[in-house]
């Protein structure tokens, strides 16, 4: 596979084949969130601080009649939230790269803030060749 990728895309930059980033995908079930976008943006900013990442920009959109999407762009990648109040469901996406960042700390903070009744988490190491 590595040879196929090299032929198709040229030299593979990640020569040590170590993950370049960690991607946490979390499903928060049983959440009831006040759809105050200024508050949501502050929560995203604090989650970014807790991951030891550098925030670049926050964008959010409140849907009518309900629900929202909010993303904070980081120098090290992003944190995104997508909320379906009719399902009491929040999709959480935290992707950070770099040796000093810790996406788990951001996830723990989001758990504290939104207090889901059930959580499912997937962890993906990004930027590592699988074979």
Q: Which of 23, 53, 77, 78 is catalytic?
A: 77
Annotated catalytic residue, options 23, 53, 78, 97 = 97
Strand partners, 79: 72, 94
Residue 82 a catalytic site member? yes
Q: In what order do the strands lie in the sheet with 55-62?
A: 55-62, 68-74, 77-84, 89-97, 21-29, 118-126
Catalytic residue among 45, 60, 69, 82: 82
- Residue 108's SS3 state is helix
Place of tokens 């946490």: 24
Q: Note if 77 is an active site residue.
A: yes
Cα dihedral 50/39/90/104 (nearest 10): 0
93 vs 122: CA distance, rounded Å: 10
Show the tokens assigned to 19.
Answer: 């993950």
Annotated catalytic residue 131 = no
Active site positions, annotated: 77, 82, 97
């Amino acid at each position: 596979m590595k040879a196929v990728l090299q032929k198709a895309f040229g030299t593979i930059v990640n020569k040590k084949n170590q993950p370049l980033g960690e991607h946490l995908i979390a499903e928060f079930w049983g959440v009831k969130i006040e759809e105050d976008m200024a508050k949501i943006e502050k929560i995203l900013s604090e989650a970014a601080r807790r991951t030891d990442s550098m925030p670049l920009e926050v964008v959010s959109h409140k849907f009518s009649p309900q629900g929202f999407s909010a993303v904070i762009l980081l120098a090290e990648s992003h944190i995104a939230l997508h909320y379906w109040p009719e399902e009491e469901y929040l999709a959480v996406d935290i992707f950070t790269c770099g040796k000093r960042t810790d996406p788990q700390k951001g996830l723990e903070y989001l758990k504290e803030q939104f207090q889901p009744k059930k959580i499912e988490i997937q962890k993906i190491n990004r930027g590592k060749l699988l074979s």
